[in-house]
Amino acid sequence: MADHTRALQREAWAAVVGALPVPAALVDEAGCVLVGNRWLGVEDGATLLRHNADVAPGLAFGADGATRWRVRPLDKTDDSEAAVLLATAERLHASDHLLRRFFSSGESLFVVYDQAGRVVESNKAWENLLGYSADEVFGLDSWTLLPPDDLTTRARVEADLRDHGRAEPVFQMRRADGSFRLVKWALHFDTTVGRCFGIGRDITDEDRIAQELHRRATTDELTGLANRSTFVDALSEALADGALPSVMFMDLDNFKVINDSLGHHAGDILLAALGRRLDDLAVSHDSLVGRLGGDEFVVMLRDSTVERAIGAATETIEAMEEPFLLHGRSVQMHLSIGISHAVPGADADALLGEADTAAYEAKERGRAQFVVFDSQLRDTVNRRFNVEASLRTALDEDRIDVMFQPIVQLPGRGVVGAEALVRLRSHDGAISSPGQFLDVAFAAGLMPRIGRRVLELALKAGRELIDADRHMTLSVNLSASELGQPDIVDYVASALDHSGFPAEDLLIEITESVVLATDATIPVLHQLRELGLRIALDDFGTGFSSLAHLRQLPIDVVKIDRSFVADLERDPVTRALTASLIDLCTTLQKDVVVEGIETADQASAVEQLGAHRAQGFLFHRPMPFAELHGLVTNANRVAHELVL
């Protein structure tokens, strides 16, 4: 009978060894394997320890001289849970309590269940984690410690234990105080002894960290909404499931004004508040809201129609009528919304791109409205794509050209300057005007490259005029994106030095919208003037605060917009206003150039109002440099002949 009991004990120990998730074995005093687990990879009888190895608790080198084993006699315990060697086989017949004593220390949880799932042995770590005493857990139905709705997990674990003898579940386990801890288990069911051995690890804190990392990876930190990757994944999943979702791409109008006037912290508060408002709306539309970054938000209506998306967009725009409260101030904001709707076989990125394009079009049409992406808009996108590709190729192949429109002195109409105007030359020599590509160039961020090429060509042409003994002012336009380049001042200075063109003969033209683009523009204008060149304010009279800026900005020349000239002869109010503008510029010691003159009567009227420099088709259309060179050379010759 004693032999039978000893055999059962040995089988129990073998089950324990088999349940361990590291290489382990039951060995005799000589280090020969009696029972090894699946992690060990050696046969029974193999020698694991060196001859005469110390089998006291601690570390010992293996027979191969390299492997180190954790030696743990069955009647001893320590705090380590590293690789385990069960030794001293002659003591297997010891007390039944050895099993619990062996696992009584350390952080790993150990428990033994009978075939009905009742606890028959457990260690202190298991009892302490759950807050029960050994007497309370003995005979306890282990399944009662799981949440009542976790029947699926129970069924799966029981099936794995029955079919394979092993399972590695993760359980929410109820503690004595009613709270739950998340435990990862390695379970082994030994049919010989009818026991299930479990070794567990509390991963509650690890799970919380993992959940936080997942939250940060999938949500926008500022608003708590889905981030770009999460939104695209959800959209892709909906499309893969056969749904036909609609996407609303939303861009906050004039958000930059908030950042510039109230600060970025106020901007963040506004974005967070907008995110909450959009999320509240999403509840009624069964939709997903995400933030792509900056002031760009997106909404997916999972299984939608265009009509439903239009209704949601209309409701969203109406919801923006309620002002936001920022630092005690009531702020009214609006959204431009682009809508795209999926067709069978649609791609998530393409669908998002179409909505983005439609939102851009909505902003172009006046903001605070929505645009649905359709075939006409697709044609527009294709045109922009083709134009952008042509622009990039033209830049790489040096096919950016410059035409020059002369500026004349009244009344004699002698040429005193010229404005450099960009043109795009195709491979067959055809010339494209700015209206055919500048909008695309701005949107694609190509203006800095284009502008620098125009400046280089203009300065080169100016140097050739000087070499031909003809000095004149050359005007070059700079956009907001060009002025925003951190090295723009150094670049202009370098271009002047390289060309040899006098800085005082260079006129940089900007529009009022360029000045308003950012607070950093005005310091850049002052730095440019310090190079010796002059600044012209183009299209003057079209901005809402031109008069205020005229006195404050570092401006030398004012170019009065053509819109005044068109009505100059028949509208007394326009004539009076133009006269006032010219008088104001004269008082402020600003030179004046009137643009857009197309008739002799307009030229006469402008001269009568006191303006002495003009530009327009009446005098000269934009021309290639060779034609300009011939024009000024002939003028020099005629002047020379008159002097003689």
Domain co-membership, 321 together with 360: yes
Please, what is the end-to-end C-alpha distance for the chain in angstroms? Answer: 142
Residue 45 in tokens: 């009888």
CATH number of domain containing 115: 3.30.450.20
Residue 508 in tokens: 């940089």
Partners of 384 in the beta sheet? none
Output the pLDDT for position 10: 61
Looking at 75, 96, 117, which one is the last position of a domain?
96
For residue 222, the SS3 value is coil
Domain co-membership, 213 together with 226: no
Domain co-membership, 239 together with 195: no
Residue 174 in tokens: 């109820």
Residue 617 in tokens: 């088709």
Residue 295 in tokens: 């002031």
Count of beta carbons in the 10 Å neighbourhood of residue 538 = 23
> Does residue 391 belong to any structural domain of this protein?
no
Side-chain-side CA neighbours of 611 within 13 Å: the count stands at 29
Output the pLDDT for position 96: 39
Domain co-membership, 344 together with 247: yes
> Does residue 628 belong to any structural domain of this protein?
yes
Going by DSSP bridges, is the β-strand pair 33-36/25-27 parallel, antiparallel, or unpaired? Answer: antiparallel
Domain co-membership, 502 together with 587: yes
Looking at 218, 253, 280, which one is the last position of a domain?
218
Residue 185 in tokens: 């288990």
Partners of 403 in the beta sheet? 421
Distances (CA, A) of 478 to 73, 154, 387, 590: 84, 71, 21, 20
Task: Give the DSSP per-residue string, 278-300.
Answer: HHHHHHHHTEEEEEEETTEEEEE
pLDDT tens digits along 109-132: 888 888 888 888 788 888 888 888
Domain co-membership, 503 together with 624: yes
Helical H runs in 413-511?
438-443, 447-467, 480-483, 488-499
Question: Which residues of the chain have a pLDDT value below 50?
Answer: 1-2, 4-5, 75-84, 87-100, 544-545, 637-644
> Does residue 378 belong to any structural domain of this protein?
no
Task: Give the DSSP per-residue string, 166-197.
Answer: EE--EEEEE-TTS-EEEEEEEEEEETTTTEEE
Distances (CA, A) of 236 to 177, 288, 344, 346, 350: 43, 13, 12, 9, 11
**Cβ–Cβ under 8 Å, residues 50 and 65:** yes
Domain co-membership, 513 together with 622: yes
CATH number of domain containing 282: 3.30.70.270
State how far the Cα of 609 lies from the Cα of 410, in Å rounded to an integer.
12
Domain co-membership, 184 together with 286: no
**Cβ–Cβ under 8 Å, residues 560 and 541:** yes
Task: Give the DSSP per-residue string, 437-448.
Answer: THHHHHHTT-HH
Domain co-membership, 208 together with 264: no
For residue 615, the SS3 value is coil
pTM of the model: 0.53
Sheet-wide strand order for 287-293: 287-293, 296-301, 246-252, 335-341, 370-372
Count the residues in the chain.
Answer: 644
Domain co-membership, 42 together with 133: no
- The position carrying tokens 């739950």 is 180
> Does residue 91 belong to any structural domain of this protein?
yes
Structural domain boundaries, residue 448? 397-642
Secondary structure element (H or E) that encloses residue 27, with its range: strand 25-27
Domain co-membership, 190 together with 314: no
Domain co-membership, 340 together with 427: no
> Does residue 415 belong to any structural domain of this protein?
yes
Q: Where are the beta strands (DSSP E) in 319-451?
A: 324-326, 329-331, 335-341, 370-372, 400-409, 414-425, 431-432
State how far the Cα of 311 lies from the Cα of 316, in Å rounded to an integer.
9
* Residue 311 burial class via C-beta count within 10 angstroms: exposed 0-12, middle 13-18, buried 19 and up: middle
Distances (CA, A) of 315 to 253, 288, 307, 374: 17, 16, 12, 21
Looking at 176, 193, 218, which one is the last position of a domain?
218
Q: How many domains does the chain have?
A: 4
Secondary structure element (H or E) that encloses residue 35, with its range: strand 33-36
> Does residue 385 belong to any structural domain of this protein?
no
Closest C-alpha among 74, 131, 95, 140 to residue 113: 140
> Does residue 382 belong to any structural domain of this protein?
no
State how far the Cα of 584 lies from the Cα of 535, in Å rounded to an integer.
18
CA-atom Rg of the chain in angstroms: 41
**Cβ–Cβ under 8 Å, residues 314 and 370:** yes
Output the pLDDT for position 644: 32
> Does residue 550 belong to any structural domain of this protein?
yes
